[in-house]
Chain A
């Protein structure tokens, strides 16, 4: 067996050993507790208190509403054959809450979520292993993320885009009956035939001779993009940036007593001047018609220096943010999985009652 393989096995055994040790010490690690609750809803007819338009004199309208089975309305109006639906929910609770009252029948170890924490931790370590080098564990994690994310995007695209925006506009009654009961607008919007048609044309790619029809859909999309972006960028970026740059170079800075602060005014004016020069120099850099030689070359050089400073500033700005992301991952591993740190007091037993002494 090669040295590398032996080294890897040793590391793995060490890792597993440490995990076993951690699991044995104190309260253990990597568990999620939840509270099991049963939700029961019953459908009742409750009277509408206010007058409804068009109702006959002396009658009181009723509306059909689903209410929790333990609510006052259910007590008053539910009968033995009122429709009833029940299901169970598990809500995660802090481990500290469980430790305080382990004999509570509603509290239990949540196996799916506990397994989930371990899966998430192992996936996290698998991705980090790529920093050392490409390996089988990373490849497994990569395959999982590709498969899951592709499926996830498609599911969300179906339920959040196609169902409300396409089916909900073309067959609203069907969608309201089954998927979005709270939908109020149930009239057919015929304008949405357009994307339906173009979508089908796009899918003609799959037909052996239908590829040319899919170009119509692409043409529609690219035409929409070009038009919307052209106006959007000229209005939002082009004109607004020019607008912001049109400022007088002479920038007056007033001191606390209203008199002009000469020193600050000079510096503010110099800064405004440098800003204008910078914009013009950078624009010269982007010039395509003239080679960067001679005077133009000199100005373009100044322009690229401005650009480099711009890029450096953006670079420096993002470093902290990226480190914060890494810190968040470490917090997940050390807090939620290994139970080695507890910054948000998830596992401390609340002893406020003891403190109050009442």
Chain B
């Protein structure tokens, strides 16, 4: 055996060892190749909604044990494509212009010996021409799409591996979309690696339905609440006896007006600082009508500085009508209802000064208030006025409760006008509100009991029932 033969044999052995080693190292990477893509990607419009939503479904690939999630991507709208192309073109032109400027500047400064400041205008002109020329060269700036299936896609969301559908929202209801899905799995080194893109889904246009069925429960609840109130109004008209409990603040209105008449001092009525687009202001105007009627009967002076022009107009209408009803239309003075200023603290400064100077016997604060509530109530306290407040601003109720003699809390304020009118229609509506509260109480007790049973026993059916009710009906 000659040396070459020996070395060839040895070499064959070495090659075998080398092959085996390569195979050993290659095997894991073959086994850990990119995960398989999902299949059967389908898209459909979400029906009965207000538009812009589509559902994407897919089938997880077989042998997908190590998949850690799926990525859903959508196609671009033509507007997005145009915007992206435009910005890429602009960037490319700007880069070309900058490069041309640099080259020309270098040439002028280094070769022709000009100073940079002298060379700059000419370089700019040359750079502009270069960009102009580039823009007009056909296909020089055309963007080639390198995304899957030859188009550009945008990532929507990543979901967990046991999910096979996704609701995509915030889409344009007038555009057609397609979707692709990727699988994600860790590679050999543990980093997430994406599969190839799935086949694109069918095109779908996420149109708006004629009627938004998702809001149907809200409509039903609205109709139920209104129906309940209407029912009691009708029953009241038919002569059903109505008993309403005494609300201290409202029973005190007569007392306050009487006091003002006795002391010969005016009453002050503040309708809040918001405009007629706040229902508290409208409710305040209604209560003003009732208080003004009592004031007209007692011949007391009621002054109404307002913070908004529209509120002034509405208040004047109300008070004029009240004086007319009380048979005192000649005592009505429209100048006692006037506009001060829109600005919160300008109004507060004025009213504080007014309270301290005129020393009203009674102050009414009925409507929407913000931070100035305490200033007004405390100033009224300092002159010894009887103060009755009513508001549905939860943040200001503490201050009125602390500083006023009587406070109508939230719903009591909305009940005030009904209460003060004493009419069956109005009182019937209060009973309707009470039934609404009973319904709320019953619903709360039932649902909380169910939820507790579900939590204690672990029953999945009861839990899904409760959560369905919460999501669909209670909007959560």
Contact = CB atoms under 8 A, between A and B. Distances in A.
- The answer on direct contact between A and B (beta carbons under 8 Å) is yes
Interface of A: 47, 49-51, 60, 72, 75-76, 127, 130, 134, 138-139, 141-142, 145-146, 148-150, 152-153, 202, 205, 214-215, 218, 221-222, 224-226, 228-231, 234-235, 239-240, 242-252, 276, 279-280, 283, 286-292, 307-308, 310-312, 314-315, 318
Interface residues of B, number: 80
B131 interface: yes
Contact of B121 (A50, A76, A318): A76
Contacts, number: 193
B106 interface: no
Interface centre among A145, A244, A248, A286 (most CB of B within 10 A): A248
For the complex of A and B, the 5 pairs showing the least CB-CB separation, nearest first, are A149-B343, A149-B346, A311-B398, A153-B342, A248-B455
B437 A286 contact: yes
A141 B350 CA distance: 10
Contacts of B399: 315
Contacts of B89: 50
| A interface, over-half SS | helix
A239 B474 contact: yes
B132 A49 contact: yes
Interface string B85-102: 000011001000100000
Contacts of A148: 346
25 contacts: A50-B89, A134-B357, A145-B349, A146-B341, A146-B346, A149-B342, A218-B313, A218-B317, A229-B279, A230-B222, A235-B218, A239-B474, A239-B475, A246-B448, A249-B455, A251-B455, A279-B444, A286-B410, A288-B245, A292-B245, A308-B401, A311-B397, A311-B401, A314-B397, A314-B398
Given A127-B349, A235-B218, A252 B341 contact: no
Given A145-B346, A289-B245, A242 B443 contact: yes
Nearest to A247: B451
Interface centre among B131, B350, B452, B470 (most CB of A within 10 A): B452
Contact of A142 (B132, B276, B277, B349): B349
Given A75-B121, A150-B346, A231-B222, A289 B434 contact: yes
Given A149-B345, A235-B218, A244-B476, 12 more contacts: A50-B90, A50-B135, A75-B121, A148-B346, A152-B343, A224-B277, A239-B474, A242-B443, A246-B474, A280-B445, A283-B437, A310-B398
A72 B124 contact: yes
Nearest to A60: B132
Contacts of B132: 47, 49, 60
Given A72-B124, A150-B341, A314-B395, A288 B433 contact: yes
